[in-house]
Amino acid sequence: MSRDGKRRRGLSYEDRVLWTHVTKAIKPLRDETKNVAGEIGDDAPEVSKPPLKHPPKFVKPAPVHKTLAPAATVKSVAPPLEPLTRRMKGRVAKGKHAIDARLDLHGFTQHEAHSVLLRFLRNAHARDARLVLVITGKGRGGEIGVLRRQVPQWLGLPEFRALVIGFEDAAITHGGEGALYVRVRRASGPS
């Protein structure tokens, strides 16, 4: 019995033969000249058992074929987002840089707003718009609105990052914290 009072089953003869075969095939991690069995004690009695009727067969494991991941294409990697430059934001606020399109998300549910925003940005991208204004609303009663929180997160998703260069809160003249300036990527190739 062991210390915890449970009866432990010893290794069968076949298990010991298999264990001996496995341990002989192992190379030590460290280059030590000490014999591990010598540390336990060389005077331990050797166990002799009759040979097995059917010696264990050792099957060589099948080779592992490493599959390489397909090379990432330029379209699969979403480009990083870049905020508007201070100069550009100032020019837009003063009306010196045109806003190509506006989208007001007031009254939409999150699900509706997500699809409307994606469709809007795809159209803006196809029309080669450079800057659009997305109005999310500020929220009610001093609480931040759901769309005001969600839209910036959506713009960080890969499906949007392929269309968007960057975004930033709009100037007070265009809605302040309740709206976003969104820079749209140029359409690559003829459209």
Question: All domains of the chain, ordered by start, with CATH?
Answer: 86-184 (3.30.1370.110)
What pLDDT does 74 receive?
46
What are the pLDDT digits (tens) for 21-75?
777 777 766 655 555 454 544 555 555 566 656 656 665 666 666 555 555 444 5
Q: Choose the most confident range, by mean pLDDT, from 139-143, 160-164, 184-188.
A: 160-164
Question: What are the pLDDT digits (tens) for 99-121?
Answer: 899 999 998 999 999 999 999 99
Output the DSSP codes for 15-36: HHHHHHHHHHHPPPSS---S-H
Q: What is residue 191's predicted lDDT score, i.e. its pLDDT? A: 40
What pLDDT digit, counting tens, does each position of 66-109 carry?
555 555 444 556 666 777 778 888 888 888 888 899 999 998 99
E strand or H helix at 90, and its extent? helix 86-93
The C-alpha atoms of residue 125 and residue 130 are separated, in whole angstroms, by 8
What residues does 181 pair with on adjacent strands?
133, 168
Taking the whole predicted model, whether its pTM rises above 0.75 is answered as no
Give the C-alpha separation, 59 to 38, whole Å.
31
DSSP label at residue 185: P
User: In angstroms, rounded to a whole number, what is the distance separating the alpha carbons of residues 3 and 167?
Assistant: 67
Structural contact between residues 118 and 157, judged by C-beta atoms closer than 8 angstroms: no
**Cα first-last separation, the chain:** 80
